[in-house]
Chains A and B, each alone.
Chain A
């Protein structure tokens, strides 16, 4: 009886105490990056359900969205779906083909009362046909979630944070273009956009990070933090990832990738061999810490 009373007292004290001090580690319900990559690339499945072999068909992408929605809700955030249609690249194709159809998934981590601007973190979740897409781009999704989990723990956020998972990057960046349209339509005040694509390969072990098409302001911030953390970086321009959709619309943007332009990148891209066991999780963790540090500094300003 005495034990029960002590236990209840402790439980009550903990419920009082936690909201005041905040949690000191990753939220207990948060999924790990290893689990994210494993589930999205089909190395694991939830319950008795079949494992994903790719994230290409509408059914496969729907299953992937169900997982990601769950992970957002585990963080106490509302997962919002943006269903869109998008015209074909050339108007003449409209005669033969229907428009693109897809679904972006996003959630918002609100800032303080004074927060006005949004920092957008984005990664695409689709993959090429018959490709498990572990590195391209389950690692990008895992990076985005890893950063979000850490930022949930921050007490002071001077900016709102938006996590968006794009559909149909592999099909002419359609998902991110549709999301840009949404941002413009809803008049979201955007501070900056950070996209992550392929962050799971580091064969030479130097931990190098590619900064794709960075705006001068973001480049300076990322380079300063990289120097402090002793992470080698280099800048590329003219990539073909989601950050291009934002760049075209004059947003402050940066794309974070493994050293693709220098050839230190997965040789299994867009093939059935882009599997869970090829992912370098040490590198993914290091990049997650780096990006978390950068984004923390931005949203605390």
Chain B
């Protein structure tokens, strides 16, 4: 008799979320690298290196890094959403800033909050548990 596997077992969606966020930030880092600013790329690549090196579910460093990255993503999204809200009530004329806070930009910020929460939970998984991924 076939057994039904939980959805999260069939698809490692938490890992997918983590790597989507990392790839998007590597992309951002690369963009600024070509404009002569390297610090984002260095930070993100260091994080990727440390995550890959310590990639074991019960490794305390791995969990801490995931929690930190999750908090960062949530903060990033939240700050942008707050800025969008402020700009809604107090519009500014600077187009370069404004264009980041359209509906697409806000969706992106919201996505960052959600992915940040997922990644944070991933790092918060009880290391002694065997039933949770």
Interfacial residues, chain A to chain B (CB-CB below 8 A): 56-57, 85-87, 91, 94-100, 128-129, 168, 170-171, 270
B13: interface (CB < 8 Å): no
Cα A116 to Cα B95 in complex, Å, equals 39
Closest to B39 in A: A91
Q: Which residues of the other chain, B, contact A128 by a CB distance below 8 angstroms?
A: 93
Q: Let me know if B93 and A99 touch, CB within 8 A.
A: no
Cα A86 to Cα B37 in complex, Å, equals 11
Secondary structure class of chain B's binding surface, majority of residues: helix
Q: Let me know if B100 and A98 touch, CB within 8 A.
A: yes
Inter-chain pairs besides A85-B31, A87-B32, A95-B40, 19 sampled, C-beta below 8 Å: A56-B95, A57-B99, A85-B34, A85-B35, A87-B36, A94-B32, A94-B37, A96-B76, A96-B79, A96-B100, A97-B100, A99-B31, A99-B32, A99-B35, A128-B93, A129-B95, A171-B94, A171-B95, A171-B96
Nearest Cβ on chain A to B110's Cβ, whole angstroms: 15
Closest to A96 in B: B80
Cα A30 to Cα B28 in complex, Å, equals 44
Q: Which residues of the other chain, B, contact A86 by a CB distance below 8 angstroms?
A: 35
Q: Which residues of the other chain, A, contact B39 by a CB distance below 8 angstroms?
A: 91
What are 27 contact pairs spanning A and B, CB under 8 A? A56-B95, A57-B99, A85-B31, A85-B34, A87-B32, A87-B35, A87-B36, A87-B37, A91-B37, A94-B32, A94-B37, A95-B40, A96-B76, A96-B79, A96-B83, A96-B100, A97-B96, A97-B100, A98-B31, A99-B31, A99-B32, A99-B35, A100-B96, A128-B93, A129-B95, A129-B98, A270-B93
Q: Let me know if B93 and A129 touch, CB within 8 A.
A: yes
Nearest Cβ on chain B to A249's Cβ, whole angstroms: 16
Lowest 10 A-B CB distances belong to which pairs? Answer: A87-B35, A129-B93, A171-B96, A56-B95, A94-B32, A87-B37, A97-B100, A91-B37, A100-B96, A99-B35
B97: interface (CB < 8 Å): yes
Q: Which residues of the other chain, B, contact A56 by a CB distance below 8 angstroms?
A: 95
Q: Which residues of the other chain, B, contact A57 by a CB distance below 8 angstroms?
A: 95, 99
Q: Which residues of the other chain, B, contact A96 by a CB distance below 8 angstroms?
A: 76, 79-80, 83, 100
Closest to B105 in A: A98
Nearest Cβ on chain B to A93's Cβ, whole angstroms: 9
Closest to B72 in A: A95
Q: Let me know if A94 and B40 touch, CB within 8 A.
A: yes
Nearest Cβ on chain A to B61's Cβ, whole angstroms: 24
Closest to A84 in B: B35
B39-68 contacts to A (CB < 8 Å):
39-40
